[in-house]
Chain A
Amino acid sequence: MLMACRECDVLQRVPWVPVGKKVRCRGCGATLYHHPRGGLDRPIALLFGALVLYVLANIFPLVTLDIGGATRETSLVGTAWALYNHDMKLLGMLVFLTSLAVPGAILFSTLYVLAGLRLQRSLPGLRQMLALLSHIHPWEMADVFVISILVALVKMSGMAEVIVGAGLYALIGYILLGIAASASIDVFVLWRRMERIDRFPRGQLSLEAGR
Chain B
Amino acid sequence: MTDLLRAKSLGLASCGVCRQVVRLSLPSTVQLECPRCGGRVHSRLSHSLARTWALLIASMVLYVPANVYPVMKNTYLGAESSNTILSGVVLFLKEGDWLLAFVIFTASIVVPLLKMCSLLYLLINVHKPSVARRARQQTALYRVTELVGRWSMVDVFVIGILTALVQMGAISTVEPGIGAMAFGAVVVLTMLAAISFDPRLIWDQEKQ
Contacts and interface: CB of A to CB of B under 8 A. Distances in A.
Nearest to B73: A86
Interface string A158-174: 11100000000000000
Contacts of A141: 150, 153, 157
Contacts, number: 198
Contacts of A87: 176
Contacts of B39: 131
A28 B136 contact: yes
Nearest to B173: A86
If over half of B's interface residues share one DSSP class (helix, strand or loop), that class is named, otherwise mixed; here it is helix
Nearest to B19: A188
Interface stretch (A6-14, A45-53, A103-111): A6-14
Nearest to B35: A195
B26 to A, nearest CB: 19
Given A9-B8, A94-B184, A151 B14 contact: no
A77 to B, nearest CB: 10
Nearest to B180: A91
B195 interface: yes
Contact of B200 (A8, A131, A138): A8
Interface string B10-21: 101110111111
Interface in A4-38: 4-12, 26-30, 32-33
Interface string B158-192: 11111111111101100110001100100010010
A8 B202 contact: yes
Given A82-B167, A141-B157, 7 more contacts: A2-B21, A6-B14, A7-B199, A11-B7, A63-B165, A73-B165, A95-B157
A26 B64 CA distance: 42
A69 B145 CA distance: 45
Interface string A85-119: 01110111011001100000000000000000000
A148 B154 contact: yes
A195 B90 CA distance: 56
B: contact size bracket? 35 or more
Contacts of A200: none
The 4 A-B residue pairs whose C-beta atoms are closest, nearest first, are A148-B157, A82-B164, A4-B14, A4-B7
Contact of B139 (A7, A88, A134): A7
A205 interface: no
A156 B166 contact: yes
B4 interface: yes
A152 B10 CA distance: 54
A175 interface: no
Interface residues of A, number: 69
B14 A131 contact: no
A123 interface: no
Most B Cβ at <10 Å: residue of A65, A94, A147, A152 = A152
A95 B157 CA distance: 7
B203 A145 contact: no
Contact of B154 (A11, A94, A127, A151): A151
B64 to A, nearest CB: 18
B16 A30 contact: no
Contacts of B165: 63, 65, 72-74, 152, 156
Contact of A3 (B19, B176, B203): B19
Which residue, of A8, A90, A156, A159, has the highest number of chain B Cβ atoms within 10 A? Answer: A8
B161 A72 contact: no
A144 B157 contact: yes
